[in-house]
């Protein structure tokens, strides 16, 4: 009888242990369900529309099939480096992968907001952590993505790059206009009310700096004030300050001239063949948008997998064909299917992105401004947005009217005094 009780107890213990292991394994399966938070520019990834690859869904499949992980990509977008920076620096949200531009990456590194992807002290090289990094063109390695600290640390992997130019509508802008090819077209009064300007401070001031022939990273107050004067004079003829809204306005023909990015021009041209584009002869901005991991990331290892996945040839080609931006990956640039597809978008698309058209004008990249320079930029941007030449005209008009009223009042007072004297 005792043996039976012992066997029964042993069996129960065994059953309990088995159940515990089973429930434990179920718990670990739930723990393996991860969310990767990605923060990117709008319209900057192939999303599955019109038969394209849904890159984020493809990454989720890759994680499940290759890594044995249940991953969900939580994807959101921003419209400017400054709005992205405000969100990351506030600590209100924890993202795993963000894609800022070069000057903003420099700022965020200095403010200790980013994790190094690799450095000289790591046991693993960059290529071991991100195997597809080897396909990044050498011109996008080195000073553009490294930050020199106590160790040579890699903080970013290039995603896309490009240059700013001027888009114009040939059905509105005279093809013989002598300002075509120059920043002057953005200030041409013939197109008053049909000109669009950037709605972000660095790019808007950049157009004025390039037009004036200044070093875009010069922080002297005199030059920034002159740039402000240029933008104030332009404000009289500007229809609006825009970012993503530019697509509808230029594609629909409701605006004639705009400064924007070459890749976006190709997207607009596909919808409206009347649109043309040039890089201004005075010089323009060249930028690199790169993938980074914020210091607050909860899944840095998974973020590295995502960055590596984005550099895979098939994925990178899909992204390049969706955005029409220039890819830093040699596997994309040399891909024949990619070249043929881009030629269908516009005959000179490859040359516009990678060839002589892109290399025939002077270029400068934005550098991170000092704290004083950033404060100056913010103050002048607010001044530009708040000032109105029309408003000044109203104030002047009101002043004149007030002066007339005062003059009439004084005259009447004098008149009354005179009449008073006659009756004294």
DSSP state of 64: I
Residue carrying the six token digits 């210091």: 295
| 154 and 179 both lie in a single domain | no
| 315 and 347 both lie in a single domain | yes
Is 141 strand, coil or helix?
coil
| 153 and 168 both lie in a single domain | no
| 141 and 182 both lie in a single domain | no
| 376 and 279 both lie in a single domain | yes
Please report, for residues 208, 282, 318, 328, 361, the alpha-carbon distance to residue 347 in angstroms, rounded to integers and kept in the order given: 31, 25, 19, 21, 20
- How many domains does the chain divide into? 2
Neighbours of 125 (CB within 10 A): 13
Per the domain annotation, does 20 fall within a domain? Answer: no
Q: HSE on the CB side for 307, CA within 13 Å? A: 31
| 61 and 127 both lie in a single domain | yes
Q: What is the pLDDT of residue 347?
A: 97
Is 34 strand, coil or helix?
strand
CA 399 – CA 238 distance, rounded (Å): 27
Per the domain annotation, does 328 fall within a domain? Answer: yes
Mean pLDDT in consecutive groups of 10 residues from the start of the chain, 424 residues: 46 44 42 89 95 97 97 95 95 94 93 88 84 94 56 86 98 96 98 97 97 97 98 97 95 97 96 98 96 96 98 98 97 98 97 95 94 96 80 38 42 36 34
Q: HSE on the CB side for 264, CA within 13 Å? A: 23
Q: What is the pLDDT of residue 19?
A: 41
CA 92 – CA 112 distance, rounded (Å): 16
Per the domain annotation, does 186 fall within a domain? Answer: yes
Q: Tell me the per-residue pLDDT of 40-93, one tens digit each, with 9 for 90 and over.
A: 999 999 999 999 999 999 999 999 999 999 999 999 999 889 999 999 999 888
Per the domain annotation, does 420 fall within a domain? Answer: no
| 295 and 283 both lie in a single domain | no
Per the domain annotation, does 215 fall within a domain? Answer: yes
| 306 and 333 both lie in a single domain | yes
| 272 and 318 both lie in a single domain | no
CA 376 – CA 382 distance, rounded (Å): 10
| 283 and 293 both lie in a single domain | no
Tokens of 99: 């894609």
Per the domain annotation, does 135 fall within a domain? Answer: yes
CA 414 – CA 302 distance, rounded (Å): 85
The CATH code of the domain that includes 375 is 3.40.190.10
Q: Which structural domain, as residue segments, surrounds residue 230?
A: 162-287+370-386
Going by C-alpha positions, the residue among 298, 296, 294, 246 that lies closest to residue 272 is 246
Per the domain annotation, does 423 fall within a domain? Answer: no
| 231 and 376 both lie in a single domain | yes
Q: What is the pLDDT of residue 120?
A: 67
Per the domain annotation, does 28 fall within a domain? Answer: no
Are 228 and 384 within 8 A, CB to CB?
Answer: yes
| 150 and 168 both lie in a single domain | no
């Amino acid at each position: 009888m005792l043996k039976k009780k012992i066997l029964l107890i042993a069996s129960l213990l065994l059953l309990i242990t088995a159940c515990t292991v089973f429930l434990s394994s179920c718990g670990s399966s739930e723990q393996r369900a991860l969310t990767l938070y990605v923060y990117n520019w709008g319209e900057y990834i192939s999303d599955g529309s019109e038969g394209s690859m849904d890159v984020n869904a493809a990454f989720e499949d890759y994680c499940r099939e290759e890594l044995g992980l249940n991953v969900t990509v939580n994807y959101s977008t921003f419209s400017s480096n400054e709005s992205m920076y405000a969100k990351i620096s506030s600590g209100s949200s924890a993202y795993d992968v963000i894609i800022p531009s070069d000057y903003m990456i420099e700022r965020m590194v200095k403010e200790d907001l980013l994790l190094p992807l690799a450095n000289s002290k790591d046991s693993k090289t960059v290529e071991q952590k991100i195997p597809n990094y080897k396909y990044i063109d050498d011109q996008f390695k080195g000073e553009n993505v490294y930050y020199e600290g106590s160790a040579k640390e890699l903080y970013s992997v290039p995603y896309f790059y490009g240059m700013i130019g001027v888009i114009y509508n040939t059905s509105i802008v005279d093809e013989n206009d002598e300002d075509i090819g120059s920043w002057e077209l953005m200030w041409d009064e013939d197109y008053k009310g049909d000109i669009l300007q950037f709605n972000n401070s660095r790019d808007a001031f950049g157009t004025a700096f390039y037009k004036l022939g200044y070093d875009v990273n010069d922080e002297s107050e005199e030059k920034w004030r002159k740039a402000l004067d240029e933008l104030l004079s332009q404000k009289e003829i500007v229809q609006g300050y825009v970012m993503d809204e530019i697509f509808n306005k230029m594609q629909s023909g409701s605006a004639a001239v705009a400064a924007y990015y070459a890749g976006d021009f190709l997207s607009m041209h596909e919808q409206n063949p009347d649109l043309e584009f040039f890089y201004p002869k005075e010089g323009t901005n060249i930028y690199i948008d790169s993938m980074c991991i914020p210091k607050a990331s909860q899944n840095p290892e998974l973020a590295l997998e995502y960055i590596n996945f984005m550099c895979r040839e098939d994925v990178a080609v899909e992204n390049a064909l969706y955005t029409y931006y220039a890819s830093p990956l040699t596997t994309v640039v040399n891909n024949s299917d990619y070249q043929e597809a881009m030629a269908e978008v516009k005959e000179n698309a490859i040359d516009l992105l990678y060839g002589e058209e892109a290399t025939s004008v002077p270029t400068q990249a934005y550098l991170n401004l000092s704290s004083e320079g950033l404060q100056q930029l913010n103050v002048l941007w607010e001044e530009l947005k708040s000032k109105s030449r029309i408003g000044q005209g109203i104030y002047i008009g009101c002043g004149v009217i007030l002066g007339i009223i005062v003059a009439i009042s004084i005259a009447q007072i004098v008149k009354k005094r005179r009449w008073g004297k006659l009756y004294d």
